[in-house]
Amino acid sequence: MDDQLPEKTPFVKEIPRKADDLSEWYQAVCYKAELVSLSPVRGCVVLRPYGYGLWERLQSELDARFKATGHENAYFPLLIPESLLMREAEHVEGFAPEVAWVTQGGNEKLAERLAIRPTSEVIIGTMYAEWVQSYRDLPILINQWANVMRWEKRTRPFLRTLEFLWQEGHTAHETQAEAAAEVAQMLEVYKEVAEDIVGVPVYKGEKSVSERFAGADHTYSIEALMPDGKALQAGTSHELGQNFARAYDITFAGRDQTQQHAWTTSWGMSWRMLGALIMVHGDDQGLRIPPKMAPVEVVIVPIARGDSTVASDFAKVLHAQLRPQFRVKLDDRDLRPGNKYADWDLRGVPLRIVIGERDLAEGKVTVVRRDFPPKTAGREVAVAIGDVAATLRELLVDIQANLYAQARTFLHDHTFAPATREEFVAKAKGRAGMLDIPWCDRAECEAAIKEQTSATTRNLRTPALGPVCLACGEPARVQAYVAQSY
């Protein structure tokens, strides 16, 4: 394929090269870096400790922002009675093909089937109906960390599994304006976490009618671009209008003494975000984790020499020193250093401190950054022992910035504003990336685009940057990002 590169990447024997086959590379990284394991259940994965570490990082960053914006965590049941689910017609219709059902408890068949939640608007709305009496009870700002289940046909680790972990925020407000502000605020939180923490640049916008959440008035998303030119929806925020309030009787006595329906919202981000992290930042050596997301920021590898314990003794001291300030791990396994390097490279640890007697004699250690390719100038630096903590701090900031910058460059280089319909179709078919076009905002047009190119609108914004729809020639109403999607 690429005859510039050697047959095999010298440092990696565990995984194929990323550019050769993204899908195989992705799966190999997920399994070999011990993020997930396939389980005996079709379409379900086990999230292993290192993968769970990533999830915990994402959780804590999101959770802190939810709290800062006035939300509280709560937990609602996994099972939803069928009759309850049926109340919001569009919602049911949208989710029906993906719902898993419990039909039996113990040895007895249930009188009413119970849905395993594909999302929790229904059960939460039902409870809100009980809790809300007056405008004084609003807003309700609740988030839940949970698992959900959607019976998908085709699955892949993180991106689409039957059961997945996510958070779902559910709020109820007195006015539409408040609900709209909430939805915008949380979408911005997602963008901030995606970009500043996960290092994945995204485009914000509103979903088209056909891509909208079942039962919502407006759905907004952040969309990231993967290396194969396909887009990945990484977070969504929905204005549910009064639809769910009507279906589930969330009513309150308003300031004007009239009985009113609340305005509700919901918003979610899942472990799919980790799939974006893996694909966007990873390289031929494996994962490259942005420091803010790294379960281990720094790994210390002592180099043994004969019977001397000088290096390993110092490594223990340094480890103890750094521990309060960094997520640092001492790798004192009985392995040769090269094995450890390859191992931590695969796992994407941002920084490695190599401690050898040669450096120690000069009062130094070697610090190696993961984001630079092997044999790149500046990848390894000798650091005076007294400066280690400060250097690590600087490098972690720099790595975070560098990974984001690389991803942003890729996104910009693969975002196109086609000049003609022909160019648009060719680029859409060829998975060139995000196609930024003036669009008519008509479902028929979107269906035609999909038919011809298998791409769809990812999200929309206003105003349109041209007079006519690039796909069909009708008057343009919005500006759309179009791409094939995961």
**Residues numbered 276-315 forming contacts with RNA, rule: CB under 7 A:** 285, 303-306
User: For the packed helices 22-32 and 272-281, what is the interaxial angle rounded to 10 degrees?
Assistant: 110
Among 66, 244, 252, 341, binds RNA (CB under 7 A): 341
Q: Establish if 6 lies at the interface with RNA (CB under 7 A).
A: no
End-to-end CA distance of the chain: 24
Q: Establish if 163 lies at the interface with RNA (CB under 7 A).
A: no
| Dist CA 411 CA 108 (whole Å) | 54
Shortest approach of RNA to residue 68 CB, angstroms? 22
Among 2, 4, 108, 153, binds RNA (CB under 7 A): 153
Among 55, 166, 244, 248, binds RNA (CB under 7 A): 166
Count CB neighbours of 151 within 10 A: 14
Among 169, 201, 227, 356, binds RNA (CB under 7 A): 356
Kindly tell me which of 7 and 334 has the beta carbon lying closer to RNA.
334
Residues 6+ apart with CB under 8 A from 40: none
Kindly tell me which of 182 and 284 has the beta carbon lying closer to RNA.
284
| Dist CA 115 CA 113 (whole Å) | 7
Residue 172 contacts residue 132 (beta carbons within 8 Å)? yes
Kindly tell me which of 121 and 174 has the beta carbon lying closer to RNA.
121
Q: Establish if 354 lies at the interface with RNA (CB under 7 A).
A: yes
Count CB neighbours of 156 within 10 A: 16
Half-sphere exposure of 110 (CA within 13 A, CB side): 14
| Dist CA 381 CA 209 (whole Å) | 53
Q: Applying CB under 7 A, which part among 55-63, 137-145, 257-265, 269-277 lies near RNA?
A: 269-277
Among 48, 421, 450, 477, binds RNA (CB under 7 A): 450
Q: Establish if 27 lies at the interface with RNA (CB under 7 A).
A: yes
**Residues numbered 72-131 forming contacts with RNA, rule: CB under 7 A:** 94-95, 97-98
Q: Applying CB under 7 A, which part among 78-86, 149-157, 287-295, 392-400 lies near RNA?
A: 149-157
Q: Establish if 23 lies at the interface with RNA (CB under 7 A).
A: yes
Q: Establish if 268 lies at the interface with RNA (CB under 7 A).
A: yes
Amino acid identity, position 247: A
User: In this structure, what is the dihedral angle of CA atoms 49, 334, 339, 295, given to the nearest 10 degrees?
Assistant: 30
Q: Establish if 479 lies at the interface with RNA (CB under 7 A).
A: no
Q: Applying CB under 7 A, which part among 78-86, 228-236, 290-298, 399-407 lies near RNA?
A: 228-236
| Dist CA 139 CA 245 (whole Å) | 13
Residue 297 contacts residue 391 (beta carbons within 8 Å)? no
User: For the packed helices 443-453 and 421-429, what is the interaxial angle rounded to 10 degrees?
Assistant: 60
Q: Establish if 481 lies at the interface with RNA (CB under 7 A).
A: no
Closest CA to 365 of 345, 395, 327: 395
Q: Establish if 227 lies at the interface with RNA (CB under 7 A).
A: no
Q: Give the interface with RNA as residue ranges (CB under 7 A).
A: 11-14, 23-24, 27, 38, 42-43, 94-95, 97-98, 150, 152-157, 160, 164, 166, 213-214, 233, 235-236, 268-270, 272, 285, 303-306, 334-339, 341-343, 345-346, 352, 354, 356-360, 366, 368, 374, 450, 454, 485
